[in-house]
Structure 1
């Protein structure tokens, strides 16, 4: 896949590679293919002159975009390992991650360094925190340098080092863990390339037609197939104008991005893909109603991507309990252990956790079952709720709550005072939805939920966390506990709902 990308960038060098967006939503060309290739070559020369060699690790805290992609291509050429650093993780967590990854060099843009420097007070208010710049080790700035930033790592000219051919570590992605024991997923070059190939086979990008999406697993396959890529605008209204003017052949947004976009009544086109967090049938149906030709939910993990996919029509037709995520994609093997937990294997599987042994199978942490050849998730094993001596897996019942008018819904447990738990549904209405009408529409749904019928329903915004803004169940449980024992009018018994 990376060989294909390098070849594509050098073919028809004047064609657009990365597209920007004006305030009107009109697409603008940020980088052409030849410019992106030259930038990658320049960074490869600069990193090689800095003394980095195959097997070395560089920490990267750079916003997605042309420079970040060029840096990734340069690292691939040299056989370097990239450790992705997230400023939102917090200073203590980042210190532990840096200690584990032990980068020979940290490359950061001015925005990330500002969080660690002059903008620390402002950044902390925005829940961003980095160790002080001096604690990061050797640092170089990528892109524009602002006062107080480290010296610039500028693209250099000269002979470009030969491409490293070994199947070495390519990327380290931190997923969870504590400050004392961080957990990081390690993908080797072969596994990363296989994952990108699977994305290309799923999306089938056509040359020269734009793709809208900002993640690397969207950028690389699309560009390798000759399709220019536009990074989604942050503002939902500007994103709606961008989608209308760009008319992309394919769009990838996370569910929170998709919900924010739908709130401004966009005009969509092409195929739409969403993942990185649970994707409901209702959300996919709304995307198609807004104009998308197809709307796909993609089941993927940091340890193996993509694993399965399902189109909105198939998902909406599913009437069983649980969350249908579709048949495993070609090459992906899915098995269930004795407890019903899902294990996965495939060409795009990660190699190991940093500091751990190589995987044989990836433990997803999801409870699942097979519906023929299709996978149906019942929720995370760690999210199990114990009510009246019965194990309740929220993911088995939450899809039923996603009816028209519901933006997001989760089931959480709150203490019942006797060692048991009370089951509470936290339901986030869509903007403008009438709570009374929504409560009436939920009544027959709740009545049919059987063992998963909640003891109470609260209408409130579901807390989210992390880069993909997944539901924060711990925060939702605290919110549910507060609302079901405190303020009147914000909670309702399930019978009344």
Structure 2
């Protein structure tokens, strides 16, 4: 049967009723509890006027309540719209106009932060301007206790999830929209990726199979991309500040792995890495610190995940930035200009308000080596110097592999005539030499193309990152090295 996010999760819940399903910092629920709460939430949502096709703005933190409410909304025939409340107010308004939601679910504290009071003052001192959720012309659901700012008629997520005598199981509907996630875009043209129950279900099945997830495994993450596959496979999903003893799988961004080495539980069998380049120095450190764990670098994007997975051994044995062989069902091709295009059953329906997508233009430059994808760089990261195109991704892995270098990035700094100076920023290993910049500069002529030799090499404490995914913020780095 075709994959279906909702049906696959609830079928696993029926099969593993007594096993632990989700653990957060408040409680642990079994698969039987999960099934009852999701079906109860769907039933009560419909009793309160929720209809098939309704969109729900969703700003509830990962945890038991959030997972139950999101699955319940999908079970009721709706679409969950993931919203970051910390974005610019203008961007929030433009995204709101695009999705036209009829419901909103948010943490109680977010409602309180949108009205004058102590919570709002604290948020603003931290640089957060939270939109006024209570002013949205929608039906409201609060996650957490009632606080000033929460509409009086807001439904409680906890009460929605209370057990009811209701056993109607959702029908198989892989083509029904399930989740909308905002990606790049401006206030004038926001982009919203629409995933169906089928596209998400395909992604979950693929990851569950590749990670060999099954009953008895314990998956630690606050990422839906690994948490939901755990539920499909009958494993336990734990959402706590750090992996606990007993965790067998986790997914981390590379910067978090670097800071957590030496503190991760020895029970981990598999560590997935994503959202940013995975460089050789980190992989070598990780393998030395955790020789019994398998490290997997996952390549994908909001529009289609996963595309490919490469093991640490495969990446270290390859001279370029190997992304791995496309996973089952995924098709990859390289266009004439070098851009990578991908498609497959886990690809989104498309962008909201735009025609359906037949394949996704990744924005990455790549080549195919024996069927394996090798990353060359990013189209939008291209540096133009002396009329020549320089792609940072082609050289950054080699620079990062130099002795004494923990991480490296290359950016172009525009001059007054539109040309660009090339600056390489390196982060030193803790035991790196004091003259690291000079050593890197001396090594580069024999390492990279002559037209890509940087005008300057600088040592920085760390590379700036942005967003929840903590990707390299090239604009911030460009600003940093321009002074």
- After TM superposition, the score normalised by the length of structure 2 is 0.90
Any conservation in 1 of the 2:109–2:147 contact (CA below 8 Å)? no
Structure 1: gaps of 5 or more residues: 22-27, 234-238, 483-497
Corresponding residue number in structure 2 for 1:260: 259
SS of aligned partner of 2:155: coil
Whether the 8 Å contact between 1:413 and 1:423 is mirrored in structure 2 is yes
Counterpart in 1 of 2:189? 181
What CA deviation, in whole Å up to 9, does each residue of 1:366-391 have, x standing for no partner?
11111121111122101100112110
Given the superposition, is the C-alpha separation of residues 9 and 399 from structure 1 closer, same or farther in structure 2, using an over 3 Å criterion?
same
Over 3 Å counting, the alpha-carbon distance change for 1:78 and 1:337 in structure 2 is same
Residue 10 in structure 1 maps to residue 14 in structure 2: yes
- Give the gaps of 5 or more residues in structure 2: none
Local SS of the residue matching 1:382: coil
Could you say which residue in structure 2 is the equivalent of 1:198?
A: 206
Residue matched to 1:130: 130
In structure 2, what is the equivalent of residue 434 of structure 1?
Answer: 432
TM-score (norm 1): 0.88
The equivalent residue for 2:304 is 304
Distance 1:168 1:364 in 2: 24
- Runs of 4 or more off by more than 6 Å in structure 1? none
Q: Is the 8 A contact 2:7 2:172 kept in 1?
A: no
8 Å CA contact retained: 1:309, 1:328: yes
Taking the aligned partners of 2:85 and 2:317, their CA distance within structure 1 comes to 41
Three-state SS of the structure 1 residue aligned to 2:86 is: helix
Deviation digits for residues 96-131 of structure 1, max 9, x if unmatched?
Answer: 111111111001112332332342332234343332
Matched, 1:287 2:291: no
Contact 1:92 1:131 in 2 (8 A): no
Hey, what does 1:163 align to over in structure 2? 170
Q: In structure 2, what is the equivalent of residue 456 of structure 1?
A: 456
2:238 is aligned to 230
Describe the SS at the equivalent of 1:436.
coil
The alpha-carbon deviation at position 458 of structure 1 amounts to 1.4
| 8 Å CA contact 2:110, 2:133 repeated in 1 | no
The alignment's C-alpha RMSD in Å is 2.1
- Give the Cα separation in 1 of the matches to 2:439 and 2:41: 57
Partners of 1:439 and 1:345 lie apart in 2 by 42
Q: Judging changes above 3 Å, is the alpha-carbon distance between structure 1 residues 435 and 114 closer, same or farther for their aligned structure 2 residues?
A: farther
C-alpha distance in 2, partners of 1:39/1:399? 47
User: 1:41-440 counterparts in 2 under 5 A?
Assistant: 41-117=39-115, 118=117, 119-138=119-138, 139-150=140-151, 151-153=154-156, 154-155=159-160, 156=162, 157-159=164-166, 161-166=168-173, 167-233=175-241, 239=242, 242-243=243-244, 245-246=245-246, 248-262=247-261, 266=264, 268=266, 269-291=268-290, 292-320=292-320, 323-403=321-401, 405-430=404-429, 432-436=430-434, 438-439=436-437
Q: Secondary structure at the match of 1:417?
A: coil
Taking a change above 3 Å as real, the CA distance of residues 73 and 20 of structure 1, as seen in their structure-2 partners, is: closer
- State the Cα distance separating 1:442 from its structure 2 match: 3.1
Q: Do the aligned residues in 1 keep the contact of 2:297 with 2:310 (CA within 8 Å)?
A: yes
